[in-house]
Structure 1
Amino acid sequence: MTKLAHIQVGDWKLAVRKAGDPSMPAMVLLHGWPQTSYAWEQVLGDLGRDQYALAFDLPGVGGSQGSPQPAEKHVLADIILTAAEQIGAKDVLVAGYDVGGMVAFACARDHPARIQGAVVMNTVIPGVAPWEEVLADPRIFHFALHNVPGLPERLVAGRERAYFDFFYDIMAGNPDRLTEDAREHYVRGYSRPEALKAGFDWYRAMQKDAERNAQTAPIQVPVLYLRGDADPGVLGLDDYAEGLRQAGVERLETGTLPHSGEYAPEEAPQALIAELRRFRAALA
């Protein structure tokens, strides 16, 4: 298992898994909820052969300490990019799924001069179509639940494994790809009360994220949007692509990852590695 290093960024300490040489172009990898940077273990070493691969624990969870308030995605993006820059990252390509995909989009929208491209996977962007349709889907009940101050912490504390397993099992195309070791690692990553709250705060900030993203702005950074072909949603890839274009993305590519649901780095690691390498090469 890749060891965690720590970087101090203002009041926050960020944990990161590293592979590759800092002289190579950097790839910043961002996990979703309820996971940590451990989700990238199957792809990190391979990507590190020709890139400086950096998988961060998002602020407040796992080995990262301190949670920004509010937890808006453009704020998280700034903290993570600053940490990456402090350890020598250059020519940055940022890739994330789920909440990490929202942060990757914020990197492209709000910090374009600091990155070369963004890969957004298996997520809807707050305020960007089909945001309202996704919120209306009863299977996405947790967006509303997690937004309630204090309640999800009371319900989930001490029951993290059962609660997290529910999401892994319904959102993965093949739940067995999320191993017992990984699931236990994720539970430990959110076991501190402040870490559990940090994860729910990402949802509590989504209304502010939506208000910000609803203000259309030209996004000239190249963006690749990927979804797994085993995603259970009723909306298609074209629905998400059209929303991103309407939000200002000028250079958009889309693609599908085979045999994958929500958790691409664990469900389809080789296909994901190939897509990330292909997109990196196209940026040259």
Structure 2
Amino acid sequence: MHDAHGALASQPPGAGPQLGWQRSGRGAYPTVFLHGWPQTSHAWRRVLPLLDELCSAVALDLPGVGRSAPQPHAFDKVTMAANVHAALEDLGLGRVFLVGHDMGALVGYAFARRYPAAVRGLVSVDTALPGIAGWEDVTRSPAYWHLGFHSDTSCGRFTAQHLVQGNEREYFRRFIDRFAAHPEAIGATDIATYVAGYQGADRLTAGFKMFRALPLDIADNQHTTESLEVPILLAFSEFSHATVTDTVAQGLHDVGVADVRTAMIPDAGHWPAEEQPVSLARAITEFVESIVSIDEKR
């Protein structure tokens, strides 16, 4: 894996925080990877080398966490997508493929909606989308009690932050294990990396504010129904959200997405980039190659 990393040196005025990044690969197709919670760009460490020949990859740390600069507010996914758009312009990537997981998939969808000319295709990894059919099917499960916990501010600040700060290692370990089919794929050193990415009040707050903004994300997605030509691949995990694949696909069609494709990542829980990186990389490769083939025929 040939990589470099750092933080963007500049951003347009008002564009938001500097974002941490790592680059790898020498392929022809710029591809941007957006991680979920409670992770950082480290989550893609096993997928990126498998795409070296196909993609020129950039894995970003979401605003406010990882190597990104602190971000005090504005964690609705439309604003976060604007932060990412500014970062990609700074990097000079041109039109890109986007791959997003969990919170990163929410940002990726908002990005595709607001900047469709900048996106060749979007891969949404094991994530239902707020305000789109399938979201309530997933979030009404008792397993998703954490959505309310992460958003609650009844004690004057985030209740979760009050309880988790100082106990991040234990909480992140339990949270990841709960949604994994193969928790052993994410080791103690990986957890330590994620804890470091949320270390300190500002970064921990940033993570929880992503959850608090979900009602805004629901409203944004429900009111955004213009036709969208950007192809979207829904890559759901067998032992996580695969049961809502068809529902989410139909939901996207219902809000104007013209080209929705699906794939199932076998023998994976909610963290397929770490649990089954080969299968996920294969799904990404097939998606990218199919779009490139179609574009070349036009």
Question: TM-score interval w.r.t. the shorter chain?
Answer: over 0.9
Matches within 5 A, 1:70-109: 70-109=74-113
Residues 137-162 of structure 1 show CA distances to partners (whole Å, capped at 9, x for unaligned) of 11101111111132111011001111
**Does residue 222 of structure 2 align to residue 221 of structure 1?**
no
Cα displacement (A) at 1:4: 2.5
- The DSSP-based 3-state class of the residue aligned with 1:13 is coil
Residues 4-57 of structure 1 show CA distances to partners (whole Å, capped at 9, x for unaligned) of 311132441111010134x83210001100000001111222323232100011
**Does residue 25 of structure 2 align to residue 17 of structure 1?**
no
- The DSSP-based 3-state class of the residue aligned with 2:47 is helix
Cα displacement (A) at 1:88: 2.3
Residues 54-83 of structure 1 show CA distances to partners (whole Å, capped at 9, x for unaligned) of 001101001101326321112111211221
Paired residues of 2:47 and 2:277 also in contact (CA < 8 A): yes
Match of 1:269 among 268, 277, 280: 277
- What residue identity is the alignment partner of 2:230? V
1:6 maps to which residue? 7
Paired residues of 1:20 and 1:52 also in contact (CA < 8 A): yes
Q: Which structure 1 residue ranges, 4+ long, deviate > 4 Å from structure 2?
A: none
Q: Tell me the number of residue pairs that the alignment of Structure 1 and Structure 2 aligns.
A: 282
Q: Does 56-65 or 87-96 show the bigger shift? A: 87-96
- The DSSP-based 3-state class of the residue aligned with 2:45 is helix
- What residue identity is the alignment partner of 1:14? L
Paired residues of 2:16 and 2:83 also in contact (CA < 8 A): no
- What residue identity is the alignment partner of 2:143? R
Paired residues of 2:242 and 2:264 also in contact (CA < 8 A): no
- The DSSP-based 3-state class of the residue aligned with 1:67 is coil
Where does the alignment leave 5 or more consecutive residues of structure 1 unmatched?
A: none
Q: Give me the CA root mean square deviation.
A: 1.7
Where does the alignment leave 5 or more consecutive residues of structure 2 unmatched?
A: 293-298
Task: State the percentage of identical aligned residues.
Answer: 34
- What residue identity is the alignment partner of 2:187? T
Q: Give TM-score scaled by structure 1 length.
A: 0.94
1:155 maps to which residue? 163
Residues 146-204 of structure 1 show CA distances to partners (whole Å, capped at 9, x for unaligned) of 11132111011001111111221111111001111111110111112111000111111
1:170 maps to which residue? 178
CA separation of 1:221 and 1:181: change in aligned 2, threshold 3 A: same
- The DSSP-based 3-state class of the residue aligned with 1:196 is helix
- What residue identity is the alignment partner of 1:222? P
Paired residues of 1:101 and 1:121 also in contact (CA < 8 A): yes
